[in-house]
Amino acid sequence: MGYAISISCLTESSGLMAILSVQNVIKEFRQGLVAMRVLKGITHSFDTGISYSITGVSGSGKSTLMHLLAGIDLPTSGAVLYNGVNVQKLSITEKKHFLNKTVGLVFQDPYLIKELSVVENVMLKALIAHEPYGPAHKHALELLAATGLSDKADHHPLSLSGGQQQRIAVLRALFNRPQFLLADEPTGNLDSENARLVIDLLIKEKELGMGLIVSSHDSRVAQRMDVQLRLADGILQ
């Protein structure tokens, strides 16, 4: 499949329903002999085309849950399922596809790579996968153009403002048109105008069919999502 011409064609899943779910998920962290149970048996399904907010006090386990859903950490027990299939049971090739194409993850901090230009940060997944440079570069430039950041393409990422860096991190996560975008406090460090721009970008993709899960302390962000969830005492309600 060639790269889409505009950001409005981003979502691989357009028209295709998919479900990402957690089933009886328990997550413990061990510190010496002591196990701290952060998630105490969570069951929930997330659909494409719907946006979800996850709020909860600091330390309630929001990042932990996001990392499990993104497949970059494992539950102590229970399962993360993609269309009913346990992500832990995927073959290496399927897991690669899951990490690279099915989910996109935005961390609270942008974590842009300072050795790469802005446009190369956007196309990072293609660089890692050794995809042909030309089409990936073209697609990354289109994403930058669609978000008014074309003039920054060849800049050093750390020369950008915090809000611009976070929008680049969002574009990087959207690059492969994921079916689910997981954004962990994507606006935590931003002023209200930059926060609005980041959430606008995410909601635009959700409206085209992507599933969107956003953890946030900010009730203004949470209220813009279709479904509001709260993580408290290790349980998602």
| Binding residues for ligand ATP restricted to 23-42, rule: CB under 6 A | 29, 38
- Strands across the sheet with 34-47, in order? 34-47, 19-31, 77-82, 85-86
By beta-carbon proximity to Mg ion, the closer residue of 23 and 63 is: 63
Nearer to Mg ion, 62 or 139 (CB): 62
Residue span binding Mg ion (CB under 5 A) among the ranges 44-52, 58-66, 147-155, 201-209? 58-66
Burial 144-183 (b: 16+ CB within 10 A, else e): bebbebeebbeeebeebeebbbbbbbbbbbbbbbbbbbbb
The number of helix segments (H) and strand segments (E) in the chain equals 8, 10
Would you count residue 64 as binding ligand ATP (CB under 6 A)?
Answer: yes
What is the rounded distance in angstroms from the CA atom of residue 234 to the CA atom of residue 166?
28
| DSSP category for residue 89 | G
Which span sits near ligand ATP by CB under 6 A: 62-70, 145-153, 162-170, 175-183?
A: 62-70
Residue from the set 12, 52, 62, 180 that interacts with ligand ATP by CB under 6 A:
62
Q: Which residues is 181 bridged to in the sheet?
A: 104, 212
Q: Does 63 bind Mg ion (CB under 5 A)?
A: yes
Residue 29 partner contact from ligand ATP, Mg ion, none using kind-dependent CB cut-offs of 5 to 8 Å: ligand ATP
> Least CB distance from residue 142 to ligand ATP, whole Å?
33
Measured from the CB atom, the residue of 62 and 206 that comes closer to ligand ATP is 62
Stretch that binds ligand ATP, among 54-62, 112-120, 126-134, 167-175 (CB under 6 A): 54-62
Q: Which residues of 106-124 are buried (b: 16+ CB within 10 A; e: fewer)?
A: bbbebebeeeebbbbbbbb
- The strand pair at 235-236 and 227-232 is best described as antiparallel
Are the beta carbons of 153 and 119 closer than 8 angstroms? yes
Q: Minimum Å distance from CB 164 to ligand ATP?
A: 23
The contact pattern for ligand ATP, residues 109-138, with x = CB under 6 A and - = no contact, is ------------------------------
What single-letter amino acid sits at 228? Answer: Q
Separation CA 136–CA 176 (nearest Å)? 10
Interacting residue with ligand ATP among 7, 46, 55, 61 (CB under 6 A) = 61
Residue of 32, 59, 84, 134 that binds ligand ATP (CB under 6 A):
59
Applying CB under 6 A, among 13, 18, 56, 209 the residue interacting with ligand ATP is 56
* Interface residue list for Mg ion (CB under 5 A): 62-63
Give me the residues that bind ligand ATP (CB under 6 A), please: 29, 38, 56, 58-64
